[in-house]
Protein backbone atom coordinates (compact mmCIF):
# COMPACT_ATOMS: atom_id res chain seq x y z
CA UNK A 1 0.00 0.00 0.00
CA UNK A 2 1.18 3.48 -0.77
CA UNK A 3 1.85 5.94 2.00
CA UNK A 4 -0.82 8.27 0.65
CA UNK A 5 -3.46 5.83 1.80
CA UNK A 6 -3.02 7.14 5.33
CA UNK A 7 -5.44 9.88 4.33
CA UNK A 8 -8.29 7.43 3.72
CA UNK A 9 -10.90 6.47 6.26
CA UNK A 10 -13.39 3.62 6.38
CA UNK A 11 -16.83 3.06 7.86
CA UNK A 12 -17.98 -0.52 8.43
CA UNK A 13 -21.53 -1.59 9.26
CA UNK A 14 -22.08 -4.59 11.52
CA UNK A 15 -25.17 -6.00 13.16
CA UNK A 16 -24.56 -4.04 16.33
CA UNK A 17 -21.95 -1.40 15.52
CA UNK A 18 -21.36 1.32 13.02
CA UNK A 19 -17.62 1.91 12.75
CA UNK A 20 -16.61 5.31 11.47
CA UNK A 21 -13.02 6.06 10.67
CA UNK A 22 -12.56 9.78 10.01
CA UNK A 23 -9.25 11.33 9.11
CA UNK A 24 -7.87 14.53 7.55
CA UNK A 25 -6.97 14.09 3.89
CA UNK A 26 -4.04 15.78 2.20
CA UNK A 27 -6.27 18.61 0.96
CA UNK A 28 -7.47 19.51 4.46
CA UNK A 29 -6.28 22.56 6.40
CA UNK A 30 -3.43 20.88 8.30
CA UNK A 31 -5.81 18.77 10.33
CA UNK A 32 -7.73 21.69 11.79
CA UNK A 33 -11.07 19.99 11.24
CA UNK A 34 -14.00 20.31 13.60
CA UNK A 35 -13.98 16.70 14.72
CA UNK A 36 -17.05 16.99 16.88
CA UNK A 37 -19.07 18.61 14.10
CA UNK A 38 -20.47 21.25 16.45
CA UNK A 39 -23.11 23.75 15.30
CA UNK A 40 -21.21 26.59 13.67
CA UNK A 41 -23.80 29.30 14.24
CA UNK A 42 -24.42 32.22 11.87
CA UNK A 43 -22.24 35.16 12.96
CA UNK A 44 -19.76 36.76 10.55
CA UNK A 45 -16.64 35.29 12.14
CA UNK A 46 -18.15 31.82 11.92
CA UNK A 47 -19.09 32.39 8.29
CA UNK A 48 -15.48 33.35 7.55
CA UNK A 49 -14.35 30.18 9.30
CA UNK A 50 -16.77 28.09 7.26
CA UNK A 51 -15.54 29.69 4.04
CA UNK A 52 -12.00 28.51 4.77
CA UNK A 53 -13.00 24.92 5.48
CA UNK A 54 -12.02 22.39 2.81
CA UNK A 55 -14.55 20.41 0.82
CA UNK A 56 -14.58 16.83 2.09
CA UNK A 57 -14.98 13.68 0.02
CA UNK A 58 -16.96 10.68 1.15
CA UNK A 59 -17.30 7.33 -0.60
CA UNK A 60 -20.48 5.51 0.43
CA UNK A 61 -22.18 2.19 -0.15
CA UNK A 62 -24.72 1.95 -2.94
CA UNK A 63 -28.25 3.23 -2.47
CA UNK A 64 -31.00 4.13 -4.93
CA UNK A 65 -30.87 7.83 -4.03
CA UNK A 66 -28.11 10.37 -4.62
CA UNK A 67 -26.33 11.13 -1.37
CA UNK A 68 -25.58 14.66 -2.59
CA UNK A 69 -29.30 15.54 -2.80
CA UNK A 70 -30.36 13.58 0.27
CA UNK A 71 -31.91 15.89 2.94
CA UNK A 72 -29.48 14.69 5.63
CA UNK A 73 -26.54 15.93 3.56
CA UNK A 74 -27.88 19.48 3.62
CA UNK A 75 -28.53 19.25 7.37
CA UNK A 76 -24.99 18.07 8.06
CA UNK A 77 -23.56 20.91 5.99
CA UNK A 78 -25.65 23.45 7.90
CA UNK A 79 -24.65 22.04 11.29
CA UNK A 80 -20.93 21.59 10.62
CA UNK A 81 -20.12 24.16 7.98
CA UNK A 82 -18.44 21.53 5.83
CA UNK A 83 -19.36 20.92 2.22
CA UNK A 84 -19.16 17.21 1.36
CA UNK A 85 -18.92 15.65 -2.08
CA UNK A 86 -20.48 12.17 -1.98
CA UNK A 87 -19.45 9.37 -4.32
CA UNK A 88 -21.02 5.93 -4.38
CA UNK A 89 -19.65 2.40 -4.68
CA UNK A 90 -21.40 0.16 -7.23
CA UNK A 91 -24.10 -2.24 -6.11
CA UNK A 92 -22.20 -5.23 -7.51
CA UNK A 93 -18.58 -6.07 -6.71
CA UNK A 94 -18.23 -3.11 -4.36
CA UNK A 95 -15.14 -4.58 -2.71
CA UNK A 96 -13.35 -4.81 -6.07
CA UNK A 97 -14.08 -1.16 -6.76
CA UNK A 98 -12.98 -0.13 -3.28
CA UNK A 99 -9.70 -2.01 -3.66
CA UNK A 100 -9.08 -0.32 -7.01
CA UNK A 101 -9.64 3.11 -5.46
CA UNK A 102 -7.40 2.29 -2.53
CA UNK A 103 -4.73 0.93 -4.85
CA UNK A 104 -4.78 4.09 -6.97
CA UNK A 105 -4.23 6.31 -3.93
CA UNK A 106 -7.60 8.05 -4.28
CA UNK A 107 -8.05 10.46 -1.38
CA UNK A 108 -11.29 10.16 0.56
CA UNK A 109 -11.95 11.59 4.01
CA UNK A 110 -14.54 8.92 4.79
CA UNK A 111 -15.41 5.61 3.16
CA UNK A 112 -18.56 3.68 3.98
CA UNK A 113 -18.52 -0.05 3.45
CA UNK A 114 -20.38 -3.18 4.54
CA UNK A 115 -19.52 -5.53 7.39
CA UNK A 116 -16.03 -6.77 6.57
CA UNK A 117 -13.75 -6.72 9.58
CA UNK A 118 -11.08 -8.62 7.68
CA UNK A 119 -10.89 -5.89 5.04
CA UNK A 120 -10.86 -3.17 7.69
CA UNK A 121 -8.07 -4.89 9.58
CA UNK A 122 -6.08 -5.44 6.40
CA UNK A 123 -6.30 -1.76 5.41
CA UNK A 124 -5.29 -0.72 8.91
CA UNK A 125 -2.28 -3.03 9.04
CA UNK A 126 -1.07 -1.87 5.62
CA UNK A 127 -1.12 1.80 6.59
CA UNK A 128 -4.20 2.83 4.63
CA UNK A 129 -5.97 4.34 7.63
CA UNK A 130 -5.25 7.01 10.21
CA UNK A 131 -5.02 6.33 13.94
CA UNK A 132 -7.92 8.33 15.37
CA UNK A 133 -7.01 8.07 19.04
CA UNK A 134 -4.83 11.22 19.17
CA UNK A 135 -7.52 13.19 17.30
CA UNK A 136 -10.24 11.94 19.64
CA UNK A 137 -8.12 12.76 22.70
CA UNK A 138 -7.67 16.34 21.48
CA UNK A 139 -10.94 17.13 19.71
CA UNK A 140 -13.47 14.48 20.69
CA UNK A 141 -14.76 14.83 24.28
CA UNK A 142 -18.31 14.30 23.03
CA UNK A 143 -17.24 11.12 21.27
CA UNK A 144 -15.68 9.77 24.46
CA UNK A 145 -18.86 10.54 26.34
CA UNK A 146 -21.10 8.88 23.76
CA UNK A 147 -19.05 5.76 23.01
CA UNK A 148 -17.96 3.26 25.65
CA UNK A 149 -14.28 2.43 25.98
CA UNK A 150 -15.15 -1.23 25.58
CA UNK A 151 -16.61 -0.55 22.13
CA UNK A 152 -13.58 1.49 21.15
CA UNK A 153 -11.19 -1.24 22.29
CA UNK A 154 -13.09 -3.83 20.23
CA UNK A 155 -12.14 -1.96 17.05
CA UNK A 156 -8.46 -1.48 17.78
CA UNK A 157 -5.92 -3.05 15.45
CA UNK A 158 -2.46 -3.51 16.95
CA UNK A 159 -3.44 -1.13 19.72
CA UNK A 160 -4.58 1.68 17.41
CA UNK A 161 -8.09 2.91 16.75
CA UNK A 162 -9.25 3.43 13.17
CA UNK A 163 -13.00 3.57 13.81
CA UNK A 164 -15.67 5.22 15.94
CA UNK A 165 -18.34 2.70 16.94
CA UNK A 166 -21.89 3.92 17.51
CA UNK A 167 -25.09 2.09 18.28
CA UNK A 168 -27.54 1.47 15.47
CA UNK A 169 -31.25 2.18 15.95
CA UNK A 170 -32.83 -0.94 14.49
CA UNK A 171 -31.93 -3.66 17.01
CA UNK A 172 -35.56 -4.44 17.87
CA UNK A 173 -36.19 -6.43 14.68
CA UNK A 174 -39.79 -7.60 14.40
CA UNK A 175 -40.69 -6.91 18.03
CA UNK A 176 -43.42 -4.42 18.91
CA UNK A 177 -42.52 -0.94 20.16
CA UNK A 178 -44.99 0.99 22.28
CA UNK A 179 -45.14 4.61 23.41
CA UNK A 180 -44.83 4.40 27.19
CA UNK A 181 -45.55 8.14 27.48
CA UNK A 182 -48.88 7.46 25.76
CA UNK A 183 -49.57 4.66 28.23
CA UNK A 184 -49.10 7.15 31.06
CA UNK A 185 -51.40 9.69 29.41
CA UNK A 186 -54.23 7.18 29.00
CA UNK A 187 -53.63 5.78 32.50
CA UNK A 188 -52.94 2.20 31.43
CA UNK A 189 -50.28 -0.40 32.15
CA UNK A 190 -48.06 -2.24 29.68
CA UNK A 191 -50.28 -4.84 27.95
CA UNK A 192 -49.35 -8.49 28.50
CA UNK A 193 -52.24 -10.20 26.67
CA UNK A 194 -53.93 -9.71 23.32
CA UNK A 195 -57.08 -8.40 25.03
CA UNK A 196 -55.05 -5.84 26.97
CA UNK A 197 -53.25 -4.82 23.77
CA UNK A 198 -56.59 -4.27 22.00
CA UNK A 199 -57.79 -2.13 24.91
CA UNK A 200 -54.61 -0.05 24.83
CA UNK A 201 -54.85 0.49 21.07
CA UNK A 202 -58.47 1.62 21.42
CA UNK A 203 -57.42 4.09 24.11
CA UNK A 204 -54.60 5.37 21.91
CA UNK A 205 -57.07 5.98 19.12
CA UNK A 206 -59.87 7.55 21.13
CA UNK A 207 -58.14 9.54 23.91
CA UNK A 208 -55.68 11.55 21.81
CA UNK A 209 -52.47 10.93 23.84
CA UNK A 210 -50.56 12.49 20.95
CA UNK A 211 -52.26 15.81 21.66
CA UNK A 212 -52.93 16.61 18.00
CA UNK A 213 -56.70 16.94 18.37
CA UNK A 214 -57.30 13.96 16.10
CA UNK A 215 -57.75 10.24 16.43
CA UNK A 216 -54.25 8.80 16.54
CA UNK A 217 -53.15 5.82 14.47
CA UNK A 218 -52.71 3.27 17.27
CA UNK A 219 -50.64 0.68 15.40
CA UNK A 220 -48.53 0.74 12.25
CA UNK A 221 -46.48 -1.94 10.49
CA UNK A 222 -44.27 -2.10 7.42
CA UNK A 223 -46.21 -2.39 4.21
CA UNK A 224 -44.37 -5.56 3.20
CA UNK A 225 -44.84 -7.24 6.58
CA UNK A 226 -47.96 -9.38 6.44
CA UNK A 227 -47.88 -10.57 10.06
CA UNK A 228 -46.74 -9.37 13.49
CA UNK A 229 -44.59 -12.19 14.82
CA UNK A 230 -45.26 -11.30 18.46
CA UNK A 231 -49.01 -11.63 17.96
CA UNK A 232 -49.48 -14.55 15.58
CA UNK A 233 -48.30 -17.04 18.20
CA UNK A 234 -51.38 -16.23 20.26
CA UNK A 235 -53.48 -17.56 17.38
CA UNK A 236 -51.66 -20.85 17.06
CA UNK A 237 -49.30 -19.74 14.29
CA UNK A 238 -45.88 -19.45 15.93
CA UNK A 239 -43.90 -20.33 12.82
CA UNK A 240 -43.72 -19.21 9.20
CA UNK A 241 -45.15 -22.62 8.28
CA UNK A 242 -47.67 -24.39 10.52
CA UNK A 243 -49.45 -27.75 10.75
CA UNK A 244 -53.08 -27.28 9.70
CA UNK A 245 -55.09 -30.52 9.58
CA UNK A 246 -51.96 -32.53 8.83
CA UNK A 247 -50.66 -30.21 6.12
CA UNK A 248 -47.91 -27.61 6.23
CA UNK A 249 -49.46 -24.25 5.41
CA UNK A 250 -47.57 -20.94 5.06
CA UNK A 251 -48.63 -18.42 7.66
CA UNK A 252 -50.02 -15.93 5.15
CA UNK A 253 -52.48 -18.58 3.88
CA UNK A 254 -53.49 -19.80 7.33
CA UNK A 255 -57.13 -18.74 7.76
CA UNK A 256 -57.25 -19.41 11.51
CA UNK A 257 -56.32 -15.81 12.23
CA UNK A 258 -59.18 -14.45 10.16
Q: How many domains does the chain have?
A: 3
Q: Residue 215's CB: how many other CB atoms inside 10 A?
A: 12
In a domain, 246, yes or no: yes
Three-state SS sequence of the chain? CCHHHHHECCEEECCCEEEECCCCCCCCCCCCCCCCCCCCCCCHHHHHHHHCCCCEEEEECCCCCCHHHCHHHHHHHHHHCCCEEEEECCCCCHHHHHHHHHHCCCCCCEEEECCCHHHHHHHHHCCCECCCHHHHHHHCHHHHHHCCHHHHHHCEECCEECCEEEECCCCCCCCCCCCHHHHHHHCCCCCCCHHHHHHHHHHHHHCCCCCCCCCCCCCCCCCCCCCCHHHHHHHCCCCCEEEECCEEEEHHHCHHHC
What is the model's pLDDT at position 52?
81
Same domain, 60 and 88: yes
In a domain, 138, yes or no: yes
Same domain, 119 and 152: yes
What is the model's pLDDT at position 3?
35
How far is Cα 215 from Cα 202, in angstroms, rounded to an integer?
A: 10
Same domain, 54 and 17: yes
Between the alpha carbon of residue 172 and those of residues 16, 168, 176, 182, 230, the distances in Å are 11, 10, 8, 20, 12
Q: Which residues pair with 233 in a beta bridge?
A: none
Same domain, 40 and 141: yes
Phi then psi dihedrals of residue 170, to 5 deg: -130, 40
Same domain, 78 and 188: no
Encode burial over 189-207: b for 16+ CB neighbours within 10 A, e otherwise: eebeeeeebeebbebbeee
Q: Residue 79's CB: how many other CB atoms inside 10 A?
A: 12
In a domain, 173, yes or no: no
Domain harbouring 162, CATH code: 3.40.190
What is the model's pLDDT at position 49?
57
How far is Cα 140 from Cα 110, in angstroms, rounded to an integer?
A: 17
Same domain, 15 and 103: yes
What is the model's pLDDT at position 28?
42
What is the model's pLDDT at position 51?
65
Q: Closest by alpha carbon to 118, among 206, 22, 10, 201?
A: 10
* Contact in structure between 19 and 155 (CB atoms under 8 Å): yes
Same domain, 189 and 257: no
* Contact in structure between 27 and 108 (CB atoms under 8 Å): no
What is the model's pLDDT at position 46?
46
Q: What is the pTM of this model?
A: 0.49
In a domain, 9, yes or no: yes
Residues of the chain where predicted confidence (pLDDT) is lower than 50? 1-46
* Contact in structure between 128 and 8 (CB atoms under 8 Å): yes
Task: State pLDDT tens for residues 64-123.
Answer: 889 999 888 999 999 999 999 999 999 888 889 988 988 888 888 888 776 678 888 888
Same domain, 42 and 76: yes
Same domain, 111 and 197: no
Domain boundaries, position 193? 180-216
Amino acid sequence: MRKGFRTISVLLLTAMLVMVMAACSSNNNNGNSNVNGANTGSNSSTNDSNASKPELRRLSIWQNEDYNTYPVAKLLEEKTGYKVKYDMLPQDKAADKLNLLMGSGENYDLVTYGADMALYSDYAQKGALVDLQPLIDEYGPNIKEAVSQESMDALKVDGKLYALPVKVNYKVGTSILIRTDWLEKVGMQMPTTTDELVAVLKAFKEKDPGGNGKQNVPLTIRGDQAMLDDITGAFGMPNAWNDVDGKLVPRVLDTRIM
